[in-house]
Amino acid sequence: MAEAVARGVFALELAGGTVPAVPALSPDPAGELAVRVGRDLARLGPEVAELDLVLAAAHFDPAEALRPVWPLHQRLEERHARAPGRKQGPRVLAFGADAGGEVPLPFRADPELAGGSLRVLPYLLAGPRAVLEPVAEALEEQLLQFGMAAADTALLAQEAFGARIEHARYLTAHDLAAMTAMQYEHRGLAPLWPLIEAALLAPSAEEWLDAGPEPLLRVQGGQARMALFDPAAWCRHYHGGAGECGQLQRAYELFLARQRQLAAVLEAHGIPVLYVHCDGAHDPRELLAQGGQDA
């Protein structure tokens, strides 16, 4: 029977300005936490108990969970495929630090993305497609509204990670993406989200940000190409070369800062940014689409 997986996260909203003391749990607390996560999810749908639950007992920034080809969840799939006990009934599996507290590379969070108020523990539900698909649909309908973790689960996570947790809840991967899109809108990053979403959900699709005064961007195949303008070419592209371009120096500096901001967000989502020099002699859209001199 064909197997399938459903992706989700156990999301921990931290008290303002606090950072968990422990990056990943050792086997005993990791296993205990996974059992409670499975129990909580089964309360929303009893069929969950018929599936394997695979939990990363390590916390990450949401951007690390929202990357092309879902690398954190892929690591869980790989560990799940190698774990003993297949075909011996549903399993609850947890992966984090070893008994000595050493965190293996696949479950090490990016230190440059530490410090955010929301940390997520990726999980998978895996099993026969006929069982998993209705469970996944039910969770998509219910988790956002009813997915608060039980009090003892949240308390265990707080104590095990050495964290101050205000809220602990379960989200599907799509819920996390929708929540991130809303946060980006509030932070003035709404124009960038369609490119990130395309890289996540339709990596072969081509998506553009082509709306001045925003930087010119093209994303396809999990990679971004950004137009790099010198002052004269920028003035020509965004202002038609009209007026005294020298008087727009401050606007050009703000444009460069915006480029750096968007590039940092894309790279946090695992989307590398290549800069393409645009000298104004050619249509920058053609250079991004067909190639050009990369910086």
The pLDDT of residue 139 is 95
Tell me: the pLDDT tens digits for 215-242? 999 999 999 999 999 988 898 888 876 5
Tell me: the pLDDT tens digits for 159-206? 999 999 999 999 999 999 999 999 999 999 999 999 999 999 998 999
Domain ranges of the chain: 3-186, 190-290
If you search the block for the tokens 């774990």, which residue do you land on?
83
Tell me: the pLDDT tens digits for 36-53? 999 999 998 889 999 999
pLDDT higher than threshold 60 for residue 83: yes
pTM over 0.95: no
| Residues 171 and 181 sit within 8 Å (Cβ to Cβ) | no
The pLDDT of residue 241 is 65
pLDDT higher than threshold 70 for residue 6: yes
Specify burial of residue 142 (Cβ count, 10 A radius: 0-12, 13-18, 19+).
middle
The pLDDT of residue 291 is 55
Average pLDDT, the chain: 92
Would you tell me the crossing angle of helices 193-201 and 173-186 to the nearest 10 degrees?
Answer: 160
The pLDDT of residue 243 is 60
CA 141 to chain centre: 20
The pLDDT of residue 99 is 87
**Can you tell me the mean pLDDT for 143-155?**
95
**Can you tell me the mean pLDDT for 86-103?**
91
